[in-house]
Structure 1
Amino acid sequence: MKYLCLLICISVTCTAPVNENNPGAVDGLVELVDNVALKRDKLPTKEPKIVTILESDAQHKLDGSYSFHYRGADGSFREEIAVVKNPGTKQAYLEVSGAYSFIDADGEEITVNYKADNRGFVPVGSNIPETISVSAKENSERPAPPTENFDEINDDEV
């Protein structure tokens, strides 16, 4: 399959029209690049806003658990807590929960709450389509995948 793709790419390159004034240039490609450059130059850009961090803290424990948070002057924040489940075993994993919030381009506050563990990541927020949140929650309620002999699991069995 790789060789077929390579052969197609070479064929397309070799059959492209050649500019007689500049045999090294391909007309369509040069025109495409010029159009992209012109459109990019016309796009409005904003200077990134620097947000002052009003409060932050982080704690890490020897077992691998942690917590952190910060709050910005614009109302944005992030907080997260991770707890080690089944510590000291081959089945150990982090159970993480948290939330973050930011102000979008329209000035609306977006907040996302999430949970992650050995069964997956579950985000819930106004900017996350409900079907994704529901599907992720349903998947997280299924039994966790086996962790014993994880390296030996065949892809066909999963």
Structure 2
Amino acid sequence: MSKALFLYSSREGQTKKILNFIDEQLPDLECELVNLHEVNQIDFSLYDRVLIGASIRYGHLNKKLYQFIESNLEQLKSHKVAFFCVNLTARKEDQGKDTPEGSAYIRKFLIKSPWQPALIGVFAGALYYPRYNLFDRTMIKFIMKMTGGETDITKEVEYTNWDKVAIFAKNFKSM
């Protein structure tokens, strides 16, 4: 059985949830799920492929992701490694914000990162207002109001397009 490593950087857990869904789509792969914030070096040669998922918060990927890329750059370049980012802007599928070409976050990532993944995905995340602290709830509500999103702070809304994630999983398997 082939082995895959799933690395994630997530604030509220949606990125990890997406990776668990991808794992379910790939029953012939043995997948190991690892929090990117808890590792520095990993031997990629132990895996047939690697998938990294990271969430956007206030317009940025976590700096730990970039530190991981710097520390593991040669392995990232020489192995089958894919990347996806999770953000609320990707909910605007009709505007192409859910594609690598249409995502400002992916464009910024590709400029900032010395690693250029061969396969890139962009998925809408989720709003978890009741779980946020007062500052985050206020800021995210403000951002959502500016961008035409949900502002009811009693709600949790999942925007992830699971069909799109399933297609990405198939593409990842065939890398």
Normalising TM by the smaller chain, what interval?
under 0.3
Larger helix proportion of the pair: 2
- TM-score where L is the length of structure 2: 0.22
Larger strand proportion of the pair: 1
Structure with the greater relative contact order (CA < 8 A, sep ≥ 6): 1 or 2? 2
- TM-score where L is the length of structure 1: 0.24
